[in-house]
Structure 1
Amino acid sequence: MKSLINNLSPEVIEQILETAFSWFVVVDKDAKIIYINEEYCKFLEVNREEVIGKHVTEVIENSEMHLVMQHGVAHIAAPHYIKGNYMLPNRIPIYVDGEIVGAFGSVMFRDVNDWKKLNSHVQKTLEKIERNMNTSMNQQERFPNLIGSSNAIRKIKETISIIAPTKLPVLIEGEIGSGKELCARSIHRLSDRFEKPFVTIDCSSIPKELLEIELFGKWDGNTLKKGRVSLADGGTIYIQEISELPLTIQAKLLKMIQDGTIQPVETDEEVPINTRVIVSSNSPLTELVKTKQFREDLFYRIQSITLQVPPLRERIEDLPELIQTFINKFCVEAGRRNIKVHRKVYWTLQNYDWPGNVRELQDIIEAIVHLADGDVITEDILPFHLRRKSSNFSRSNGTLEEILNHVEGQVIKEYLLVEKDKNKIAQQLGISRSTLYEKIKKHNL
């Protein structure tokens, strides 16, 4: 730093001090002025030559430069009343070899109103930037729990971004463990209700005779015991496994969605409610409507916005990202360094059907993170049913040529899922890069 300063001529340094700050003053360890720029002198209506060597308090009204040196603490944007105005100066102690040898001050804003104007401008600019950032925010930031970049997941994220600001009910369908609740929470998080409660109720885990009370509450004497819907007032109620809801309660839910009122048990009184409804089902409701197990009118009221969450086996390209996310999470929880996944483990996991979907994957990764001895997850610590499944690699029917062609496609696909560098893939497979590209095109990968 000293060598850089030494490269500057006195004329350059003087020009910087005269023009870089509107008003600028330097004092020595006795708080006597050793430099003050011409602009400051004009404001103070003093002659520069006459004030050099004077104590700063004799020249600048209400100056606290001497206090900065006494305490060794900088004053940043500290209001300073001078000549009838409040200004915002910075006062900085100067250290050499650990000792204070002086201080310098610079006036950032000659008038607090200037600061207010700038602050208002900065605030508006920041708000504009924030709005733009929110519009173009990385999907991972907007959907921290919806992991994946497959076409199916991208489509779900886009749909959620569109429907979240509305008040419309939403139906989410998908297999067990596929991530329906994560979608519901994302809708709530991106809506204007995000500061209000997000309340869940699983209809499959509550006795049917208690569901009505759990949902809508009950009058007990002069006291209303609130149900889940009332607890979510202003926010969102997420009803899991709505297919388990008895038909009579379905009718009350329909009335709530249409009229914005609920009727607690043991009363005829209707209570106004402002709760957004999101429901989910593990199986298509259309089949239940056909068999009269689900009200047709309720179905048509909730199905106008339907999210179909794909099972993990239909978006297997998301598997590496999901695996790494869960490994990072559980390594932190277990207090251990991040561990890597052997390529054979990836292949095994990619060839599994995942009947339990993302939830099953998460549980398996949590287990193997705790079971892994070293820094690499190997096949021997995978659950037995996964290892057994991976051995059934090729098709059992078809000609030899068809089977070999299928295996070739599977191998290349699995390499592509775990390695982006095609040069490395070609090298590992013992083929040229051009041959690899031909095979990628051949198998539509």
Structure 2
Amino acid sequence: MKPLAEHLPESVLTQILENAFQWFVVVNKDSEIIYINEDYCKFLEINREEAIGKPVYEVIENSRMHEVIATGKAHIASAQFIKGTYMLANRVPLKVDGEVVGAFGSVIFRDLNDWHNLSSNVKIQMEKINFGKPTNEGSHYLLENIIGSSKVIRSIKETIQMIAPSDLPVLIQGESGTGKELFAHSIHQLSDRSDKPFIKLNCAAIPPELLESELFGRAETEGRFHLADGGTLFLDDVGNMPLSVQVKLLRVMQEGLIESIGSVQSEKVNVRVIAASNQPLKSLIESGKFREDLYYRIQAITLQLPPLRERMDDFIEITNYLFHKSLMRAGKRNLIFATDTMEYLQAYHWPGNVRELQNVVQAAVYLTNGEVIEPSALPLQIKMERTFYTIGSRTLSESLEEVERNILHETLLHHPDKRDVANILGLSRSTLYEKIKKYDL
């Protein structure tokens, strides 16, 4: 700095200081302002001459410069509420010969919304750069892995981009198979915690009596909260969590403190919680199975994932994605869906959602020896549900007969013994034979 001061006049150094930061202030060891730039004064609506010499807390609300001077420790990217909005500030101690003689503070983002948008944008650009590159960090899904361009999916993606940089807890609700974990991963990957652990726990998969130790650990072992410290903890099927464990989870959400089983000491953890449920938590509250206070803690942001049957605009895109993924796994290339096969798939209501579709597509790929996936490669329940009807194309009686014929045909294909078929369909054998003859089966 000394050579710089020797070669540049004071007026030039002042210009550098005035323009190097949006807003900044310098205080002495008594927290009195010794320099503040003009732009900051304009925002604070104060004359610079009046500000110089005043305690910083009289000029800038919620100032913490005195803490930096007292501790000698910097505050980096710290949120500060000034004139009705949150800003992001850096505060750094100034030292001479190891002794703190003052502090320097600068506002690096004047509006946290600007920071959130920039942070999300940076994460998205990094995703694009890294998309497709091999990773040794396990299954970390990106926002681009969420397939679909329907209005509802675009809206959810936009919400994720907005809330990912925050530390707000998120509740993801949706039926089984809608991809709740994928959405949780994408939030984590776009957050400032993306380089920290993403730890998941399925609350329905752990016996209730063991869930507490899994989450909070024991005196001699770490729990999931320990493992997720600094990162994200994804609690799937949170509606299955026992009430006794919910109480401890609520404390973590409120105070950031955990207490391991068998320990009398509380530990501080820094964990973002993303919870997921395939059951409406409000219904569980009404039945006394879920705490209302915990519900309001975990649902600061709620994402409601639609079932596949309500986003059929995405069906072809999702199916093609899963299909090509399955082809690569199976080592097959020249394989296509027959038109009838796709019609069966699109007519089915998919109670198991995308997970069921993935299993059906994968099985069909492995069950096909030729170059075309025929309806015979599909499960019985998908083919039995197919009904195509156009107004005026046939009478009700004719439509019902078509359904009856299809059910008989598919059942006979899978059960050669006609006695089994009669039992499955609830028919006498004589009635079954009459229908077989009627439909030329």
Alignment of 1:285-434 (within 5 A): 285-390=281-386, 392-394=387-389, 400=392
Measured at CA, do residues 137 and 274 of structure 1 come closer, stay the same or move farther in structure 2, by a change above 3 Å? closer
Alignment of 1:37-436 (within 5 A): 134=124, 143-219=143-219, 224-390=220-386, 392-394=387-389, 400=392
Structure 2: stretches of 5+ with no match in the other structure: 1-117, 132-141, 400-441
Q: What CA distance in whole angstroms lies between the structure 2 residues aligned with 1:312 and 1:296?
A: 29
Q: Partner amino acid for 2:217?
A: G
Is the 1:173–1:180 Cα contact (8 Å) retained in structure 2? yes
Deviations 1:280-301 (A, max 9, x none): 1101101111222111111011
Q: What CA distance in whole angstroms lies between the structure 1 residues aligned with 2:158 and 2:315?
A: 20
Is the 2:326–2:362 Cα contact (8 Å) retained in structure 1? yes
Greater Cα offset, 336-345 or 318-327: 336-345
Measured at CA, do residues 234 and 253 of structure 1 come closer, stay the same or move farther in structure 2, by a change above 3 Å? same
Is the 2:176–2:278 Cα contact (8 Å) retained in structure 1? yes
Is the 1:149–1:318 Cα contact (8 Å) retained in structure 2? yes
Is the 2:215–2:223 Cα contact (8 Å) retained in structure 1? yes
Q: What CA distance in whole angstroms lies between the structure 2 residues aligned with 1:403 and 1:160?
A: 49
Structure 1 residue 132 displacement after superposition = 7.2
Q: What CA distance in whole angstroms lies between the structure 2 residues aligned with 1:304 and 1:401?
A: 51
Q: What CA distance in whole angstroms lies between the structure 2 residues aligned with 1:134 and 1:209?
A: 41
Q: What CA distance in whole angstroms lies between the structure 1 residues aligned with 2:345 and 2:129?
A: 26
TM-score if structure 2 supplies the norm length?
0.57
Q: What CA distance in whole angstroms lies between the structure 1 residues aligned with 2:354 and 2:334?
A: 21
Deviations 1:68-109 (A, max 9, x none): xxxxxxxxxxxxxxxxxxxxxxxxxxxxxxxxxxxxxxxxxx
Q: Partner amino acid for 1:165?
A: P
Partner of 2:82 in structure 1? none
SS state at 1:301 partner: helix
Structure 1 residue 394 displacement after superposition = 3.0
Count of residue pairs the alignment pairs up: 269
Structure 1's consecutive aligned runs of 4 or more residues displaced over 3 angstroms after TM superposition are 130-142, 399-404
Partner of 2:41 in structure 1? none
Measured at CA, do residues 177 and 133 of structure 1 come closer, stay the same or move farther in structure 2, by a change above 3 Å? closer
Q: What CA distance in whole angstroms lies between the structure 1 residues aligned with 2:321 and 2:250?
A: 39
Deviations 1:294-344 (A, max 9, x none): 111110111120000100000011111111111111111111115222222
SS state at 1:218 partner: coil
Deviations 1:338-385 (A, max 9, x none): 522222222111110100000000001111111112222221211121
Deviations 1:254-291 (A, max 9, x none): 11011111011111210110111000110110111122
Is the 1:171–1:278 Cα contact (8 Å) retained in structure 2? yes
Q: What CA distance in whole angstroms lies between the structure 1 residues aligned with 2:340 and 2:377?
A: 12
Q: What CA distance in whole angstroms lies between the structure 1 residues aligned with 2:284 and 2:146?
A: 29
Structure 1: stretches of 5+ with no match in the other structure: 1-127, 408-445
SS state at 1:205 partner: coil
Is the 2:124–2:190 Cα contact (8 Å) retained in structure 1? no
Is the 1:193–1:236 Cα contact (8 Å) retained in structure 2? yes
Is the 1:139–1:157 Cα contact (8 Å) retained in structure 2? no
Q: Partner amino acid for 1:393?
A: F
